[in-house]
Amino acid sequence: MKLVDSKEKLLGGPEIIAQSIYSMDNLPYPKEAILASIAAETTLPNTDIVQIGNTVFVSHVGKGKNSKKMVGRAFNVDTGRNFVKNGFKYFTYLQKRGITHYTTEFDGPVFLNGFKIFQRRAKQQDTQIGIGMDPETNQYVVYMRLGKEPLARGL
């Protein structure tokens, strides 16, 4: 994947998503169909889209008793260090919105390394992060219980 350092060049959200998808291998559907699906997804009610650096976070807010829970994913073309900072800023954004739980799934070591860093920092604060593997999909699954202490503190 070609990374674009957001400190040198900030890309637009659609370009980040497209570059992220086109860098993926072994997708079950044509990349154009996946991009069309993501475009449609962004128009759904309760969809939250946030760009921080060259990372776009697309998440869905629960309804009713689950209104403080989100499920989402990130599209990233930023550098590893920037992705980690972007993630901390995003999780702090979720905390400010009153979100208490966040879940995501992904494959590959790039996001896994980032979440291990998030997990180490969270252990020093009041956020809990669990990382596991779904044996049916071979994807990593992350469950977060967001605390009150801002995760982006000190960045």
Q: pLDDT exceeding 90 applies to what percent of the chain? A: 86
Mean pLDDT of 81-100: 96
Q: How many domains does the chain have?
A: 1
pLDDT of residue 152: 76
Asked, for residue 155, whether it belongs to a domain, the answer is: no
Asked, for residue 3, whether it belongs to a domain, the answer is: no
CB atoms within 10 A of CB 146: 24
Confidence band, pLDDT 50/70/90 cuts, at residue 155: low
Mean pLDDT of 52-69: 98
Asked, for residue 5, whether it belongs to a domain, the answer is: no
**What CATH number should be reported for the domain holding residue 117?**
3.40.630.30
Asked, for residue 104, whether it belongs to a domain, the answer is: yes
Higher pLDDT, 145 or 24: 145
Alpha-carbon distance of 21 to 34, in angstroms, equals 8
89 contacts: CB under 8 Å, gap ≥ 6: 52, 152, 155
pLDDT of residue 154: 61
Asked, for residue 154, whether it belongs to a domain, the answer is: no
Higher pLDDT, 153 or 105: 105
Alpha-carbon distance of 129 to 119, in angstroms, equals 6
Asked, for residue 118, whether it belongs to a domain, the answer is: yes
- Which range marks the domain in which residue 98 is found? 13-145
pLDDT of residue 71: 98
Confidence band, pLDDT 50/70/90 cuts, at residue 110: confident
Asked, for residue 8, whether it belongs to a domain, the answer is: no
Asked, for residue 51, whether it belongs to a domain, the answer is: yes
